[in-house]
Structure 1
Amino acid sequence: MGKHFFMNNTVTTSTTPSLMLQGTSSNAGKSVLTAALCRILLQDGLSVAPFKAQNMALNSFVTPNGEEIGRAQAVQAAACRLEPDVRMNPVLLKPSSDTGSQVIVMGKPVANMRVKEYVKYKPTAFAHVQSAYDSIAAEHDVMVLEGAGSPAEINLKAHDIVNMQMARYAKAKVLLVGDIDRGGVFASLVGTMELLDAWEKDLVAGFVLNRFRGDVTLLDSALDFTTNRTEKSFFGVVPFLTQLGLPEEDSVTFKESIGRQLPLRDDALDIVLLDLPHIANFTDVDALTIEPDVSLRVVNSLDKLGKPDCIIIPGSKNTPGDLHWLHESGLAVAIINFAKAGGVVTGICGGFQMLGETVSDPVSIEYVAQQSSEIDVHLHATQQGLGLLPLRTVMGEEKVLTRVTAIHAPTGNSVTGYEIHHGITESTGAQKLDSAIIREDGVIIGYGLADSHDFQAVWGTYLHGVFDDDKFRRAFINDLRVRKGLAPLQGVQASFSIDPALDRLADTVRDALDMKKIYEVLGL
């Protein structure tokens, strides 16, 4: 398919039909609906791929080629039964402070940029976006695009590369999604349309209401009023979906979903996930939430810590800053005392680094200062870790991005996942360390201190997705049960696979949307 583009007016001659989901706000459910439509189109015999020009997220994934993309696009790729591809998310922003982000283009870090720096860089970023879209769209029958935030953010529209400018470039039909659960959805839909330019309004095919609870017929008058006011019809009302069984992209949604866990058995283990200010790849614990004997809590203050059976320190996009927060909040001392008393503490990626004695970021790879202050200077230097493992970490400019097959050394269980980190972590030699996770190439990417149990009481690893393997996860949980004086549960108790969840999602969304109408606007 021949394609070309002009940077001045972002016109393309793409002939690949495309549908785009934009929202009246962030967290309107665009990512999940994009995945649903990808699976529906695949079920209907079409070759389909997802695309998000620019994603801002701390939850990322590594493609088979060692390139970093947003986790949501990896889930959407799974919905299409495709391997994650960097072309699906050519620009990824990973915030490291309120005013700065690491900018990742075509899967590789370019630089840490503040907002104004990135705005200047956006024409270059958009050129990569256009090239990526042209390439992947040429390989498929139909594309499903996802926007970001709202297309009506008038302070951002002048340099937009992810919403209406991308829709115009792809000649996409836009469905505007509103989250009715949060209230004010009809005002949001009408207000969004009022703030769009004429050419942007022309791209909007219609609306989708998301996360509705109740009798849909009660909405008839409101739907009619909104259609009469905007001249845009509704393509459907999607019900509020619980227990999706899919990784969440947004940490707010993730924490809300944890709070909606089903009632658990009396002998459930109490596992705490620390809610770091710059928490990243929190989906590393997703698989634990499906286990019948696990209660997962998200904790961000000392008074909520309680007496858990295990503390998990997750990844972080600002390990020095989050270490500082742990010490300032009093959680660091509590974690140290918990471990000394025999408690189980596990760290993943940034959390693994924090378990050591020091973390140094000499050239500000992760920490982006918001202002000049004594704290900023301190955070540029070496931070004291928790001192639970004799390790030191130094942040380096080279970023490790790789898919991994490995072995959990103490039990021999196989594990798979991926590495995303700048740090190089080494032993200080202060005491004997034992291997925890060993890659198939022999590189050790996890350490712990051995005791009399199958798992080390304190251990950490750079391996994201370490709990996804059913057998390994059950061994870990059973070790916690034994430490608590409970009998282990025999055999795998729960299977962690998102494919059945994607089919269930697609079935529900297909029933809720007018798919005939969607096919008509796509010309399919």
Structure 2
Amino acid sequence: MVDTSGSRITGTLMVQGTTSDAGKSLCVTALCRILKRKGISVAPFKPQNMALNSAVTNDGGEIGRAQALQAEACGLALSTDFNPVLLKPNSDMTSQVIINGQAVSELDARRFGNIKELAFEQVLAAFERLKQQYDVVIVEGAGSPAEVNLRKNDIANMGFAEAVDCPVILISDIDRGGVFAHLTGTVNVLSASEQARIKGFLINKFRGRIELLQDGVDWLEEHAEKPVLGVLPYIMDLRLDAEDGINRALHAGNLVNPDQKSVRIKIPVLPRISNHTDFEPLMNHPNVILEYIEAGGDLAGADLIILPGSKSVQADLNYLREQGFDHQIKRHLRYGGKLLGICGGFQMLGDTLSDPDHIEGHQGSSEGLGLLSMTTTLAPSKQLKNVRGSTVDSDTEVSVVGYEIHCGISRGAALDRPLFLLCDQNEQQYTDGACSEDDQIWGTYVHGLFDKAEMMSHILSWVSGKTFHSEDWQVVRERELDRLADIYEQHIDLNKLFEIIQSH
């Protein structure tokens, strides 16, 4: 556990950003992989995350997808300590609150300030546990510390940094424009102690000749009296899990040369679409063109339509009908197309959806698409499972690995034709999913279906009748983590960074 100069590295570093999507998550991911490669015991930490993409820990908890990727960069099994508070928006005005991996409450916009009272002690306790276990903890902020309206109850940025007395570096996205204003403006709205806590800047997503930026870098260092630790290039075609929003760059790249791809997949973008990281391996497949279809779009021409997961299934089902996607799906089936429903999308395929405890709102119950003979009832306890297993009725047994995150319990005759025989982390065995009698429709609660090459090839063969070679997404992810770390090592001053980490 030594750095390149031979001295042991211990301490904490927090990465904050001038805006959302400034590059905090990938920065923490890169630094974690760099430190791991140097033999340093390192763990990621995000006090509070807000995202609909999540992952399941080995002990049946739930954390943000970005922290799962960061843990992988460290070579660690997933732990709820990496992300003790996760907020999952149910609507524009309410969020489910997950503390230490379990849903405990729901907050509306008027009560959001209560999050500090509700969760800060748990945040600090999780951080202290990590400090005891690892030499270095790399902390990711949330949004921006310049959101002055949120400072009173902040547990995610300077409120956390001040409480634990850790140094901060500030990253900003130059691709948006105004990077010097973003950096200096953020510093200027902070208190004196918070300003002193910022030990350096990172400029992210720079394109062009670095010498043309140098005058600005010199001015920034003189004006702010803080070093610029690195200028990071715009990284093209990075194939890593998106933290929350759809990976638009990967999507755009996938749409190139459609005539050279033999399987066309379309996915309607639901207002509360969740865990769409399920589909990033498909966008990396050389034989697949995957299109996300927005409001008013057309599902025609697809070989496979996928109904994705949803945080608010009945509301998103209403949206499908409002857009006329339900009629398009039925026309697709009449012409022999295939349909796959995952998690909330699977629930939509049944006859009815019931929410007697108003977990997702006040609708109570609604009609499903009526494509599978089953009913789903939402229950307060959430199913959080890491699963493994195999197909039930395929010609050759195909293995499946993934995870489940859902509140619904489905019952009905359709489940007598299951897709998978699964085993969860507690060694409980059960069947999952359903297959229509004509084999056109599959439904499952398992996320991460396409991560393994064997299952991805199996599903693509079901859709097209052809044989495909696929690559494990884990192999791609590891390769991309090292590529990201290589770029950061090349463009940041690691010696200064290590000094900052050890400064407190």
Q: Tell me which interval the TM-score lies in, with the shorter structure as reference length.
A: over 0.9
Report what 1:50 is aligned to.
Answer: 44
Q: How does 1:315-464 map to 2 (within 5 A)?
A: 315-367=309-361, 380-411=363-394, 412-427=397-412, 429=413, 433-440=416-423, 441-451=428-438, 456-464=439-447
The 10-residue stretch of structure 1 (106-115 or 297-306) with the greater mean CA deviation from structure 2: 297-306
Report what 2:80 is aligned to.
Answer: 86
CA-to-aligned-CA distance 1:254-298 (integer Å, 9 cap, x gap):
134311335466243111122100010000111112211001111
TM-score by length of 1: 0.90
Does structure 1 retain, via aligned residues, the 8 Å contact 2:10–2:501? no
Mark the CA change 1:364 to 1:400 in structure 2 (over 3 Å): closer, same or farther: same
Report what 1:190 is aligned to.
Answer: 184
Does structure 1 retain, via aligned residues, the 8 Å contact 2:99–2:119? yes
Distance 1:364 1:119 in 2: 24
Mark the CA change 1:121 to 1:236 in structure 2 (over 3 Å): closer, same or farther: closer
Q: How does 1:51-450 map to 2 (within 5 A)?
A: 51-252=45-246, 254-261=247-254, 263=257, 266-367=260-361, 380-411=363-394, 412-427=397-412, 429=413, 433-440=416-423, 441-450=428-437
The 10-residue stretch of structure 1 (416-425 or 108-117) with the greater mean CA deviation from structure 2: 108-117
Mark the CA change 1:238 to 1:121 in structure 2 (over 3 Å): closer, same or farther: closer
TM-score by length of 2: 0.93
Secondary structure in structure 1 of the residue aligned to 2:282: helix
Report what 1:494 is aligned to.
Answer: 471
Q: Return the offset for 1:352.
A: 0.6
Q: Return the offset for 1:339.
A: 1.9
Secondary structure in structure 2 of the residue aligned to 1:320: helix
Q: Return the offset for 1:184.
A: 1.6
Does structure 2 retain, via aligned residues, the 8 Å contact 1:264–1:292? no
Report what 1:370 is aligned to.
Answer: none
CA-to-aligned-CA distance 1:458-485 (integer Å, 9 cap, x gap):
1111111111111110121122222xxx
Report what 2:5 is aligned to.
Answer: none
Does structure 2 retain, via aligned residues, the 8 Å contact 1:265–1:292? no
CA-to-aligned-CA distance 1:63-100 (integer Å, 9 cap, x gap):
00000000100000000000011000000000011110
Report what 2:463 is aligned to.
Answer: 480
CA-to-aligned-CA distance 1:100-145 (integer Å, 9 cap, x gap):
0000000000022212333224223000000000011110011100
- What amino acid maps onto 2:135 in structure 1? D
- What amino acid maps onto 1:62 in structure 2? V
Distance 1:299 1:122 in 2: 38
Does structure 2 retain, via aligned residues, the 8 Å contact 1:273–1:312? yes
- What amino acid maps onto 2:480 in structure 1? A
Secondary structure in structure 1 of the residue aligned to 2:149: coil
Does structure 2 retain, via aligned residues, the 8 Å contact 1:479–1:488? no
Q: Return the offset for 1:432.
A: 8.1
CA-to-aligned-CA distance 1:172-220 (integer Å, 9 cap, x gap):
2211110111112111111111111111101101110111111111110
Distance 1:196 1:517 in 2: 23
Matched, 1:470 2:450: no
Distance 1:257 1:185 in 2: 25
Report what 1:510 is aligned to.
Answer: 489
Q: Between Structure 1 and Structure 2, how many residues are aligned? A: 486
Distance 2:128 2:98 in 1: 19
Q: Return the offset for 1:46.
A: 0.5
CA RMSD across the alignment: 1.7
Does structure 2 retain, via aligned residues, the 8 Å contact 1:18–1:171? no
Does structure 2 retain, via aligned residues, the 8 Å contact 1:63–1:86? yes
- What amino acid maps onto 1:223 in structure 2? V
Does structure 1 retain, via aligned residues, the 8 Å contact 2:339–2:440? yes
CA-to-aligned-CA distance 1:407-465 (integer Å, 9 cap, x gap):
122322111111111001111x4x785111221344222111143xxxx3211111111
Secondary structure in structure 2 of the residue aligned to 1:76: helix
Does structure 1 retain, via aligned residues, the 8 Å contact 2:436–2:442? yes
Does structure 1 retain, via aligned residues, the 8 Å contact 2:204–2:234? yes
- What amino acid maps onto 2:81 in structure 1? R
- What amino acid maps onto 2:432 in structure 1? I
Secondary structure in structure 2 of the residue aligned to 1:352: helix
Mark the CA change 1:432 to 1:147 in structure 2 (over 3 Å): closer, same or farther: closer
Distance 2:283 2:177 in 1: 28
Q: Which runs of 5+ in 1 are unaligned?
A: 1-14, 368-376
Mark the CA change 1:68 to 1:432 in structure 2 (over 3 Å): closer, same or farther: closer
Secondary structure in structure 2 of the residue aligned to 1:505: helix
Does structure 1 retain, via aligned residues, the 8 Å contact 2:239–2:250? no
Mark the CA change 1:234 to 1:364 in structure 2 (over 3 Å): closer, same or farther: same
- What amino acid maps onto 1:238 in structure 2? L
Distance 1:393 1:292 in 2: 36
- What amino acid maps onto 2:444 in structure 1? T
The 10-residue stretch of structure 1 (175-184 or 301-310) with the greater mean CA deviation from structure 2: 301-310
The 10-residue stretch of structure 1 (402-411 or 34-43) with the greater mean CA deviation from structure 2: 402-411
Distance 1:171 1:338 in 2: 58
Distance 1:409 1:265 in 2: 34
Secondary structure in structure 2 of the residue aligned to 1:209: strand
- What amino acid maps onto 1:27 in structure 2? D
Task: Work out the percentage of aligned pairs sharing the same amino acid.
Answer: 41
Q: How does 1:16-35 map to 2 (within 5 A)?
A: 17-35=11-29
